[in-house]
Structure 1
Amino acid sequence: MLNMVDRLVPGVTTVTPHARYYAVHALVAHEAVGRDLSGKDTQELLRRVEVALAVVSTHHDHEVRLPKAHGQDALAGVSPVVLAEAAQPGKGGYSSSPWGFWRPYSASERALGILEPGGSSLTPGPRSDEAVLRASLGPLLELAAQEEIGDEAAAFSDPLCLCTAGEAPDGQWLSTILCGVGDGPTTPHDRDRRETISLLARVLATHQVESLTQDFTEAVAFGEFGVTDEVAASLSITSAWQGLLLRNYVVGAWRRLWAWLVNQIESFMPAEELGDRLAAELPNQTVGAFVDDLPSSIDGNGHTAPVEPALRRSDWPSPCTELAVLAIGARRTKELEGDSLRAFIGNERIRDRELSPLWMCRRLEEHRSQHLRDFARELVRILLARAQRIALAKSQRRDDGSLWVPSRVRSRDGHLFAVGTEGSGDVGLRIDQLGSVLVGAGVLTNATGHWKVTERGWALLA
């Protein structure tokens, strides 16, 4: 899942929500090179600039909906902000990291060529335009050089706030990089990112979109849109996105089912009882009857039917719902074709692995006559054994000689106990973060609560 997301959305991650930070970090890189700063001095400059950005962003009535500036909450209610104190890493500062919030952005900035690809330091890359960056963000350097920032920050909020980047030179510069236009050679990553943005833009043009990831998922994964829409059908990446989105339901089902099981574990519970608890949530029927009773995963026109989101909205008990989603995923291994199928089942090295859709398909077929509750008990044994193997493979010896085992479920003498709860959220697809960055770069807008493409966005994607 993560490898496919990285391929389809290069240059954006789940922790890179702001377009302007790409430009800010590039500007700091140019300033550090121009002044021949040491690594320690570059860190200090970076932190002071990020503090200045957070302060000015609190003094603006935001024109578009964006997350808060990094470190803004830590500085809330402080006026004036003393730079030497606020920029210090650790307690009392805006960030605990010596590099502020640059590290989460660094890989994306290198992937885009904004910083030097393959490097590890804050060094300008081939696509960094120093003149544009200074024209937009030069005043940030002046604010960062002050001893403190008080009410005068309001005078800088219009040109420097996160929400105004889309109309500024730095936003326009970043938008051309993200959309893969302009001079210079392009890479496969540039083409994939441009096609993903084009697909997202087409969804926004043809659907009423309020929840970006959810609405994008349901438009691309299900129905005829990817096949009959002229633009979506022309993009080589559409089928891959369909397979990835459908696979995310499968991965999410395993995560939810495992989280449910972990939450059932009481102090020193017999392992067999955990299987019994899952069995008690399931209907009294065979595996074959359970699978056959599920809704059709193909609609009347031969397109993928939105069964997975419908199941998630159903009244079924949670583990029963997730098992149904897994069964639908198994069925899709025989229904999808081409790039959709390849993205859904993975490459040849991993497609037959335990818990994969193909693996689940075989198990359901081989155990059609078995009672569903017995099938569930066996599934719990498989999950527990798998969890133990993974935890032991990742275990490490501490300095004091004890063994650190990264698992929330422990087993002793056939009994289980839990040392925490498991997360049950879906794998991040980066669509929300991509949308946020594109808003900051002036390609999209969500000012009215509905996502739309701006005029400049359409011009870049034409």
Structure 2
Amino acid sequence: MRMVDRLVPGVTAVTPHARYYALHGLVAAHAEAGGLDASAARTLLRRAEVALAAVSFAHHPEGLEWLPRAHGVDAMAGRLRAGAVAVGEAEVPGKGGYVRNSWGFWGPYAGSEVALGVLGPGPMPVPGPRLDAVAVRDGLGGLLELAAEETLHVAELASLGDRLCVCAGGDRADGAWLADLMCGAGSEERGSRAEARRQTIRLLARVVGERPVAHFTRDVGRVFAFGDFLTTDPVTSGIDAAAAWRGVVLRNYSVGAWRRLWSWLVARVEGLMPVDELADRFADEMPPGMTVDAFLSSLPATRSRTGAPLPAELELRRSGEALPLAELRVLAVGARRVDELDGRARDAFLGQRGVELGPEWVGRRLDEARPLQVRDVARRLTYELVARSQRIALAKARRRSDGSLWLPTRLHERDGLLYRTSQEGRGDVGLRLDQLGSVLATCGVLRRDDERWSVTGDWRARLD
């Protein structure tokens, strides 16, 4: 996640909509021009976000397959389907409003907006050095008028969707401004975070332009990780960030393997269970009698004849093997890649050196255990993972007001017995490619036709 933040600053896993950058800039500019205090600015922002959600619902009542719903639509679903939203009621923070946070959805976007220069730092939205107040007023000014209304009628908002929906920024002035801000890089920005973002956008746009892409993380991520496109294409081969993205995506397969294994282990805990029994359950999923040496020899090929990474991780996850065995193989593939990658790709793949559970750590453990059976390794890993989870939980423990200790963990250990309070997540860590793609789409850089993405107008030439 630290590496991804360096490669695509200004977009996070919770910022999928370009128009919120513009809306928060609009509120900041309006508050400054009108001398609004924090309380008045907060109310304006919340009412404007309610209006944006209502218009977006009116434009696409069933939503769009490629774009998350506008923030707050789900919380206001009952009101919106009934046909009317009382703005004063919907904007109030709390359970009955469109969001609990007093500053609406500014919080998730604030860091990105400051990084981009849309806003300046502070306890309330203030214009930043890169904000174009004229462009955001031209594109989204109508939301301020809607925010002043007492009631918004969904049927009357449908005609405004082409101008004010979250999907419509690409055809408006605010979208053009944000596209230039996201994608542009002047000479003063060489080596900066803005240049890193531009390189990432150029990579994504080039893949979209040259390969069939329906889903950014899945399709673009695989091109980043595997094959020789990045090194042989005349555009991507000259982009410094390409190698870093290769390392990041490949490392994410190993991170995902650990998450899946840990989720599987926690799900096996029933009632009060001895750690030994959990270790046995993991071991029972391994091939009987197989040594670690044979296990490593059975891994699929990880490099082509040209030295490009082959999709061994994908092959293993499609193999039909039981999850624990397949994911342990994925970890072993990641360990093998330590000696196959070089340069910036290897640096990004390894990240912080010497960390527990990292590819180098996995490689050492497997190499030392070559004469042993894989079942023995599974048992050892169970003990190590359980102990690690307890160390992390204790490090993050907090004392409650009643004196009791709160542990941030779903798996608890007491006197050698384990019990769980809920299931663990098993999804992959987000690489922000989906969010970057949707932001670029809603500010006019990309478009989607027939379930395939493409680069719009002159943006392809500008990004090549």
| Shorter-chain TM-score range | over 0.9
Aligned to 2:27: 28
| 1:140 equivalent among 138, 143, 146 | 143
Distance 2:82 2:103 in 1: 22
Letter in 2 for 1:247: R
Secondary structure of 1:410 counterpart = strand
Distance 1:453 1:139 in 2: 28
| 2:257 equivalent among 253, 264, 273 | 253
Distance 1:439 1:397 in 2: 46
- What does 1:25-104 correspond to in 2, within 5 Å? 25-60=24-59, 65-75=66-76, 76-104=80-108
Distance 1:209 1:425 in 2: 21
CA contact (8 A) 1:408 1:422 kept: yes
Q: Is it true that 1:421 corresponds to 2:423 in the alignment? A: yes
Distance 2:196 2:134 in 1: 28
Distance 1:310 1:194 in 2: 32
| 1:270 equivalent among 274, 279, 293 | 274
CA contact (8 A) 1:48 1:87 kept: yes
Distance 2:373 2:185 in 1: 58
Secondary structure of 2:127 counterpart = coil
Secondary structure of 2:418 counterpart = strand
Give the structure-1-normalised TM-score: 0.96
Distance 1:242 1:316 in 2: 26
Give, in angstroms, the shift of residue 407 of structure 1.
1.2
CA contact (8 A) 2:185 2:195 kept: no
CA contact (8 A) 2:185 2:194 kept: no
Distance 1:242 1:385 in 2: 32
* Most deviating of 222-231 and 316-325: 222-231
Distance 1:426 1:65 in 2: 19
Aligned to 2:130: 127
Give, in angstroms, the shift of residue 186 of structure 1.
6.2
Distance 2:375 2:23 in 1: 57
Distance 1:74 1:417 in 2: 34
Distance 1:330 1:452 in 2: 36
User: CA offsets, 1:159-201, max 9 Å, x none?
Assistant: 1112211010000000001102479756611111111011011
CA contact (8 A) 1:180 1:186 kept: no
* Most deviating of 314-323 and 70-79: 70-79
Distance 1:12 1:63 in 2: 20
Change (3 A) 1:354 1:181: closer
Give, in angstroms, the shift of residue 71 of structure 1.
1.1
* Most deviating of 145-154 and 84-93: 145-154
CA contact (8 A) 1:176 1:182 kept: no
* Most deviating of 229-238 and 87-96: 87-96
Aligned to 1:172: 176
Distance 1:30 1:191 in 2: 27
Aligned to 2:386: 384
Give, in angstroms, the shift of residue 375 of structure 1.
1.2
Secondary structure of 1:149 counterpart = strand
CA contact (8 A) 2:189 2:195 kept: no
Letter in 2 for 1:298: R
- What does 1:301-316 correspond to in 2, within 5 Å? 301-316=306-321
User: CA offsets, 1:195-229, max 9 Å, x none?
Assistant: 10110111112211112111112111111111111
Aligned to 1:232: 236
Aligned to 1:288: 293
Give, in angstroms, the shift of residue 312 of structure 1.
0.9
CA contact (8 A) 1:63 1:447 kept: no
Distance 1:373 1:185 in 2: 53
Q: Which blocks of at least 5 consecutive residues in structure 2 are unaligned?
A: none
Secondary structure of 2:413 counterpart = strand
Distance 1:58 1:427 in 2: 29
Letter in 2 for 1:95: V
Distance 2:424 2:74 in 1: 27
Give, in angstroms, the shift of residue 81 of structure 1.
1.7
Distance 1:444 1:232 in 2: 18
Aligned-residue Cα RMSD (Å) equals 1.6
Aligned to 1:441: 443
| 2:325 equivalent among 320, 326, 341 | 320
Letter in 1 for 2:384: I
CA contact (8 A) 1:20 1:162 kept: yes
Secondary structure of 1:72 counterpart = coil
Secondary structure of 2:180 counterpart = helix
Distance 2:147 2:82 in 1: 16
Give the structure-2-normalised TM-score: 0.95
Give, in angstroms, the shift of residue 66 of structure 1.
2.1
Distance 1:125 1:263 in 2: 48
| 2:116 equivalent among 112, 120, 139 | 112
Give, in angstroms, the shift of residue 152 of structure 1.
3.0
Distance 1:187 1:108 in 2: 19
Question: How many aligned residue pairs are there?
Answer: 457
User: CA offsets, 1:123-153, max 9 Å, x none?
Assistant: 1100001111111111111111111122432
Secondary structure of 1:451 counterpart = strand
Change (3 A) 1:23 1:187: farther
Letter in 1 for 2:334: G
Distance 1:132 1:63 in 2: 26
Q: Which blocks of at least 5 consecutive residues in structure 1 are unaligned?
A: none
| 1:366 equivalent among 361, 365, 368 | 368
Q: Is it true that 1:10 corresponds to 2:14 in the alignment? A: no
Q: Is it true that 1:161 corresponds to 2:165 in the alignment? A: yes
Secondary structure of 2:119 counterpart = coil
Distance 1:366 1:185 in 2: 47
